[in-house]
Structure 1
Amino acid sequence: MTRRPAILVVDDEPRSVEVIARVLEEEFDVFTAPGAEEARRILEHEWIQVIFCDQRMPKTSGVALLTEVRERWPDILRIIVTGYTEPDDMISAINEAGIYQFITKPWHPDQLLLAARNAAHLFHLQREHERLSLEMRLSLPAAEARIAARRAEVAQSFHFDALVRAPGSPLSEACLKAAQVATFDVPVLVAGETGTGKELLARAIHYSSLRSEKPFFAVNCGAIPDELLESELFGHKKGSFTGAHVTRIGLLDQADGGTILLDEIGDVSPAFQVKLLRFLQEGEIRPVGSNEAKRVNVRVIAATHRDLHGEVGRGRFREDLYYRLCAMVLTLPPLRERRADIPVLAQSLLDALAAQHGKKARGFTEEALACMQAYDWPGNVRELQNEVTRMLVLARAELLSADLLSPHVVRDAAAATRADRDVAAAIAVPDTGPLKDRVERMEATILMETLVRCRWNKSRAAEELGLSRVGLRAKLDRYGIARGGAFAKSH
């Protein structure tokens, strides 16, 4: 059974105490005291929530007693019952005793009961507020720790290590440069074919920067018409155009203090390039339909699959905007130049997809990996992910085989493998002939074998052979070695 609120009535007139107690006892536990001394004894032993106290009493006045109560039991709600309403007395009672309410004589029973209910309810609210405040103070460090742990988890998931690659991958050079530029608050242009991981690199830059605790937003500029793109980035006021039923806060405003990725920046129109240039120059945004500009602090990372410098030369992209965006240019290599990365990347994708779809899968057969490494992947990592998804869905065993690949992947991979074999056969070292010819044939064979092993990555082949790219190119031209071609020069 829930305990009722307790009220103490202090008055030196027994009749007055009896009447007040009778009014209150139906809803409250009522304690009575004829004076200050008995009131103190009750307060020390009982959990009192509200005091009704007469002002004019012998020895100790009501204000004096309630001032003492305020100091020793500050939570108790204090009510003065008096027939004297001189302004000076009331002001003194409020300042010294912190009186909750005055009830003047003669009082009405409903007035007395309402004051008691309100005071008891306020006492309950105060205690509940104190409890919640204490819980908040106790739980805040734990909540902050959870938030910090979650933030660290997110940052780690978007770190440069999230761009899966094998040791010595060409992608590592781009990641190294990105890590160096991350802590410098300068605009970055990320170039690369579609599906090479430009957004992943941009996120890694953000979460490795001093802005990591602020928002990151990505918007595909090439997929949105100018009018909607302006509203998306800058926001708009309600009623500024047809369909603008509510005010919208733009992404640049939401990203204040953080980073925004303008993906496919090379696809925006010349008209919108002007608006974007104004923002980059002034650091201010003006929502559509508004006359007020707002200053925001946003780091801009742009990404494109186009040759943006070439677009400037052809007059399709503003030169001043280009230089505003590319304090640092990072180029991501396509998957066909990262063939050594394909096994580890495919396995990483398979592990994630298997967990997502709840299907067991251990890996790929050697034949499947050979086909995937021989294929050129025009759609890059995105196409590889789609292919791994297809293989996982169709698989009946935990080891995924080459027959699960799309027919065009197997066909193109086989064609590339045959071309390598044809060129290799054409430069095989003869058993007879002049030493000079045989040495040149041997050199050509070593060049060809290295290129095939490096999947025609000329930079890696040159490094392995101890040659410069220019030196390697000169030897390939000398011997007529080309991918898909033949050994043209006879010796």
Structure 2
Amino acid sequence: MDTVNTSLTTVLVVDDEVRSQDAMRRTLDEDFIVLTAGSAAEARSLLEQQEVSVILCDQRMPGLSGVVFLKEVRERWPDTVRIVISGYTDTEDLISGINEAGIYQYILKPWIPDHLLATVRNAVEAQGLQRDTNRLHLELRSSTPVLRERAASNLAQARQAFDFERIERAPGSPLDAVCELAARVARYDLSTLVLGESGSGKELLARAMHYASPRANKAFVSENCAAMPDTLLESELFGHKRGAFTGAFEDHAGLFQRANGGTVFLDEIGETSPAFQVRLLRVLQEREVRPVGAARAVPVDVRVIAATHRDLEQRVREGLFREDLFYRIAGVTLTVPPLRERVGDIAPIARRLLQEVGQELGLSPARAAALRLSDEALGVLMAYPWPGNVRELRNEIARALALSEGEGLAAQSFSPRVLQGQTGAGLAALAPGLGQAASGTLVERLDAIEAVILRETLLRQRWNKTRAAKELGLSRVGLRAKMARFGLEG
């Protein structure tokens, strides 16, 4: 069994396959304390010893199946969020147990790391919101003024936390224009389509729009449309009635009903099937949902913000996305530029992430605030193209922080992928002296360029002078002479 650090949120992974345990641990352990169990009995023992926020349980295990075990968890530890993972392509058997076990979400194998992480994050957030709701209900019974004061305070805190100004960026960033347009659009009930690569911050922009809108005092709910088959996605968004299918033992309100008066964020809408697109279009046109198995539709008042990394116009031309749905969701289109197109934002984002990750790893707020990135480290980060955008940057910061000693984050702590993946466009970040190449004599300009190349090679080779000299076609003596000439000690 695992040792526990109770200062962070704890997630329990229950799977009889060690490789699956390890894969989920690697995906989650940057954000959570991850415990593992190979059987229901081992998981039960862990739950009896300590508090667990979320359980990820495989459906097929020796002895008890996942949903049968989670039914027991629901009875004994009702506050724990329950998620089941299965490789079944036919979900009927699973659905029969989902409601009895009070399963928060069902994940189909092979699972996607980003989706798994997002699901657990949402589960923890949902658990916190439920606790807040329960507390507010108690306050309502005792004092209505207290409830009003708490609601106003929570709303003020949320608006501050998700304000457009809190979206980290440098002065003059390309994001300024995007945020300015989003802030103007937020005031009106216009359906909005947010385009951008995975990890670029589309949901953060959507949340800022919600809390800048008149709907801010109502719920903001999100769903990744690429993560579920149509049947489960329809039930999750639109709800279902008791008896609608095998295992539907009680009515289930969908996200559209739960967000009534607020905002629904549909991520990766470009991955939905044509059949589901028809049902979603009807909901948006009629402003009502018909839960699965219901005889009548239920009116809903929500604002929809959709997002995708796909080129939806191209998918419309290819017949993969309905044209009428495209025009329905794209009342206004916002495009979040990838991180490689806003190199200036990398430094402030990295500094912010350094403090956040430091606290997540158990550092005190004061010690986390004291963490610093060296100039060389920032240079390396600004020279890398970041295909995974902010999400990849966060992972790299966490890795480097774990490998570094002291309060300074050194360039050598970054992964070989980052050190070796520098682009020509980013080399200027490695040495301020490159700006000298734009003026001065020819010799002075060549010296500035040579200094940049020399420093970049040393960083990529982790200051191994033998390898750096070999790559540059120099002797070690010649390399040392050039390092001394340009003030590069290492």
Q: Compute the TM-score of the two structures, normalised by the length of structure 1.
A: 0.57
Letter in 1 for 2:320: R
Give the alignment's Cα RMSD to 1 decimal.
Answer: 2.8
Matches within 5 A, 1:106-185: 139-185=143-189
Q: CA deviation at 1:351?
A: 1.1
Is 1:313 matched up with 2:317?
Answer: yes
Distance in 2 (CA, whole Å) between partners of 1:256 and 1:147 is 17
Match of 2:395 in 1: 386
Structure of greater Rg: 1
> What does residue 61 of structure 1 align with?
none
For residues 328-477 of structure 1, the aligned pairs below 5 Å read: 328-359=332-363, 360-361=367-368, 362-413=371-422
Alignment partner of 1:212 is 2:216: yes
How far does residue 224 in structure 1 lie from its aligned partner after superposition?
A: 1.0
- Residues 219-240 of structure 1: per-residue CA shift (max 9 Å, x gap): 0001111000000011011221
Q: Is the 8 A contact 2:384 2:426 kept in 1?
A: no
Name the TM-score, length of structure 2 as normaliser: 0.57
| C-alpha spacing 1:176/1:429, structure 2 compared with 1 (3 Å) | closer
Quick check: 357-366 or 277-286, which moved more?
A: 357-366
In structure 2, distance between residues paired with 1:255 and 1:326: 20
CA deviation after TM superposition for structure 1 residue 418, in Å: 6.5
Query: In the alignment, is residue 278 of structure 1 matched against residue 282 of structure 2?
Result: yes
Q: Matched residue pairs, number?
A: 299
Q: Is residue 230 of structure 1 aligned with residue 230 of structure 2? A: no
Could you tell me how far 1:136 is from its partner in structure 2?
7.7
Cα distance in 2 for partners of 1:291, 1:388 equals: 52
How far is 1:141 from its partner?
2.6
Q: 5+ residue gaps in structure 1? A: 1-134, 433-441, 449-491
2:383–2:427 Cα contact (<8 Å) kept: no
Cα gap change, 1:250 to 1:137, in 2 (>3 Å): closer
Give the direction of change, closer, same or farther, for the CA distance of 1:140–1:363 in structure 2 (3 Å limit).
same
Would the alpha carbon gap of residues 282 and 364 (structure 1) be closer, same or farther in structure 2, given more than 3 Å must change? same
Quick one: distance in 1 between partners of 2:238 and 2:182?
28
What is the identity, as a one-letter code, of the residue corresponding to 1:387?
E
CA contact (8 A) 1:375 1:416 kept: no
1:98-126 Cα distance to aligned partner (Å, 9 max, x none): xxxxxxxxxxxxxxxxxxxxxxxxxxxxx
What amino acid does structure 2 have at the position aligned with 1:165?
R
Once the 2 structures are TM-superposed, how far is the Cα of residue 176 of structure 1 from its aligned partner?
A: 0.2
In structure 2, what residue type is equivalent to 1:371?
V
The secondary structure found in structure 1 opposite 2:422 is helix
User: Counterpart of 1:108?
Assistant: none
Q: Secondary structure at the match of 1:190?
A: strand
Post-superposition offset of 1:417:
5.6
Shift of 1:186: 0.8
Identity %: 52
- For residues 92-111 of structure 1, the aligned pairs below 5 Å read none
Task: Provide the residue aligned with 1:295 in structure 2.
Answer: 299
The residue correspondences of 1:14-163 to structure 2 (distance < 5 A) are 139-163=143-167
Deviations 1:323-382 (A, max 9, x none): 000110000000001111111101111111212222234211111100000000000000
Q: Is the 8 A contact 1:371 1:402 kept in 2?
A: yes
Q: CA deviation at 1:242?
A: 2.5
Shift of 1:276: 0.5
1:261 to 2:270 alignment: no
Structure 2 residue matching 1:303: 3-state secondary structure: strand
Query: Structure 1, residues 31-64: CA drift from partner, whole Å, max 9, x if none?
Result: xxxxxxxxxxxxxxxxxxxxxxxxxxxxxxxxxx
How far is the alpha carbon of 1:413 from its aligned partner? 1.7
